[in-house]
Amino acid sequence: MKPNSESGSKRVKTVAGAGQGTIGKSSGNKEMLESCGIKLTRQRLDLLEQLKKADGPITAEQLFLNLREEAAAISLSTVYRILDAFELKGLVEKVVSADENKAIYELNRHEHGHHLICTQCKVRMTITGCPLAGYEEALARSTNYRITGHRLEVYGLCPKCQSELGML
Amino acid sequence: MKPNSESGSKRVKTVAGAGQGTIGKSSGNKEMLESCGIKLTRQRLDLLEQLKKADGPITAEQLFLNLREEAAAISLSTVYRILDAFELKGLVEKVVSADENKAIYELNRHEHGHHLICTQCKVRMTITGCPLAGYEEALARSTNYRITGHRLEVYGLCPKCQSELGML
DNA sequence: ATGCAAATGCGAATGATTCGCAACTAAAAT
DNA sequence: ATTTTAGTTGCGAATCATTCGCATTTGCAT
């Protein structure tokens, strides 16, 4: 996919300021960023808004495309940079999936959870709660490692794909 | 890293056959491949040998470099292709790690396990056994997914790094 | 020995992410 | 309100692991 090669916009220079009044669509965002110590920017507000709309795991490029559809001026590199910044401040969680070669981002719910991924249609749902509660301590004892975290992805067939595949 | 740009070998053409007699260093390999229905090739035997030597998770490029050191003629693309083939036949397991942007391969032990990775020095140890035994069924019931698998990585500090970091 | 499908080498292509740098902008200082 | 300044953005080029195309070579059955 070559996301830059659509929507004829070449240089945005003079056009770039097009959204001065647009700042703060959903007003919580402004405070949200400020409380994280993140400088306010039209792009950052737009991206945050978009993350909320997505309401779930989403890829950097999809965020970029969604923003473009709404005529929000932003570049793909900026999307990546902002996502990095957000992650650093704990605003978003970045997940590197094993079966896709791209990173997935989602607003940090601040509750530990994992993804359940349909191997057919690739939808992911976030499952909260974690089966590894006691396990880490046991592992620490048996290995002498100091356990600091883990990553778990569960794969399966979602109900829809199960029926579409004829309950094989 | 640009692995092709070392060890002056440009074209291997005439040199390529250099290992006709070399087939079967460690004699189990031949049978191992045959029983998997994999065509015998000098490169495949060499790579399998190398996987055994590595005795643990290793990256495609490292395998390639190791082979080069032993003067085994092979190209990086072939390493990838063979690893794919081996994976398809269940000979190796491919692991896409979350904190490194490269794939890791290891001989398939045919016993379910996961990796414990030191976040400092990146060593990985394979931990056999799995804490998700009952969990998958429960999850299947509560989500109506048909669970088919999972991927788990545990992170921590290995004993060595703990002491080197002064038990922070 | 001979032929053909499969495997290999090489370099070029891909695709996600990052980087460099000049143009911009938010917010601090005046 | 204007200037300053440090941080941000856009753009295209660079990176890096992995894959592909295609001409050449090889394993192996006939």
Q: Residues A99, A134: one domain?
A: no
Residue B43 falls inside a structural domain: yes
For residue B66, being part of any structural domain is answered with yes
Better-scored residue on pLDDT, B56 or A60: A60
Q: Evaluate whether residue A16 is within a structural domain.
A: no
- CATH assignment of the domain containing B38: 1.10.10.10
A108 CB-to-strand D distance under 7 Å: no
Q: Is B147 helix (H, G, I), strand (E, B) or coil?
A: strand
Strands A92-96 and A103-107 turn out to be: antiparallel
Are A51 and A122 contained in the same domain?
no
Is B2 among the domain residues? no
For residue A63, CA distances in Å to A42, A73, A76 come to 15, 12, 9
| Beta bridge partners of residue A115, listed in sequence order | A126, A153
**Could you give the CA distance from residue B118 to residue A149 in angstroms, rounded to a whole number?**
11
Q: Which of B66, B96, B126 is the last residue of a domain?
A: B96
Question: What is the spatial distance, in angstroms and rounded to an integer, between the CA atom of A87 and the C1' atom of C29?
Answer: 31
pLDDT bucket at A102, cuts 50 / 70 / 90: very high
With CA atoms as reference, report the closest residue to B145 among A131, A20, A153: A153
Choose between A95 and A5: higher pLDDT.
Answer: A95
Residues A141-161: what's their mean pLDDT?
Answer: 93
One domain for residues B83 and B30: yes
List the single residue in B with minimal CA-CA distance to A138: B131
Give the max Cα distance, chain A. 62
- Find the Å distance, CA of residue B16 to C1' of nucleotide C9: 10
Residue at shortest CA–C1' distance from C5: B39
3-state helix, strand, coil in chain B (%, to 5): 45, 20, 35
Cα B156 to Cα A130, B122, B123, B124, B163: the distances in Å are 18, 10, 10, 10, 13
Residues A132 and A91 in one domain: no
A136 touches chain B (CB under 8 A): yes
Looking at the DSSP bridge assignments, the partners of residue B118 are B156
Report the pLDDT value the prediction gives residue B1, as an integer from 0 to 100. 43
| Residue A79 CA: distances (Å) to CA of A51, A67, A164 | 11, 10, 36
pLDDT at A68 over 90: yes
Give the domain CATH number at B143: 3.30.1490.190
User: Is there a domain that residue B145 lies in?
Assistant: yes
Q: Which residue is nearest to nucleotide C16 (CA to C1')?
A: A102
Residue B4 in any domain: the answer is: no
Per-residue pLDDT of A32-50, as tens digits, reads 999 999 999 999 999 999 9
Is residue B101 a contact partner of residue B118, using CB atoms and an 8 Å limit?
no
> What chain A residue is nearest to B154 in terms of C-alpha separation?
A150
Q: How confident is the model at residue A158 (pLDDT cuts 50, 70, 90)?
A: very high
Q: Which one-letter amino acid corresponds to residue A66?
A: N
The answer to whether strand C lies under 7 Å from the CB of residue B11 is: yes
Residues of chain B with confidence (pLDDT) below 70: 1-27, 167-168
Span A116-141, pLDDT tens digits? 999 888 888 889 889 998 899 999 99
In a domain, B3, yes or no: no
Pair (A92, A149) in one structural domain: no
Whether residues A97 and A35 share a domain: the answer is: yes
* Residues ≥6 apart with Cβ < 8 Å to A107: A51, A52, A91, A92, A93
Q: Domain ends where: B36, B66, B96?
A: B96
> What ranges in A1-151 are assigned the alpha helix state H?
28-35, 42-54, 60-69, 76-88, 133-143
Q: Identify the pLDDT of residue A168.
A: 59
* B70 and B27 belong to one structural domain: yes
- Report how many domains make up chain B: 2
Q: Pick out the nucleotide with least CA–C1' distance to B14.
A: D25
At B83 the pLDDT is 97
pLDDT of residue A25: 57
* CB-based contact A9:A61 (threshold 8 Å): no
Chain-centroid distance of CA B6 in Å reads: 23
Query: In which domain, by residue range, is A125 found?
Result: 111-164
Angle between helix axes B76-88 and B60-69 (nearest 10 degrees) is 120
Residue B138 lies in a domain: yes
Whether A150 and A135 share a structural domain: yes
Same domain, B24 and B80: yes
If asked whether residues A44 and A96 sit together in one domain, one would say yes
- Whether A44 sits with its Cβ under 7 A from any strand D atom: the answer reads yes
pLDDT tens digits for range B79-119: 999 999 999 999 999 988 887 889 999 999 888 889 999 98
Q: Do B95 and A98 count as a contact with CB atoms less than 8 A apart? A: yes
Q: What is the reported pLDDT for B134?
A: 87
Where among B61, B96, B131 does a domain terminate?
A: B96
3 state DSSP class of A59? strand
Three-state secondary structure call for residue B148: strand
Give the one of B101, B147, B155 whose C-beta lies nearest to A148's C-beta.
Answer: B155
pLDDT at B97 (0 to 100): 83
User: A41: Cβ under 7 Å from strand C?
Assistant: yes
Task: Specify whether A27 is located in the same domain as A94.
Answer: yes
CA dihedral B148, B37, B114, B122 (to 10 degrees): -130
Whether residues B86 and B117 share a domain: the answer is no
What is the predicted pLDDT for the residue at A71?
A: 85
Instruction: Flag whether residue A140 sits within 8 Å of chain B, measured between CB atoms.
Output: yes
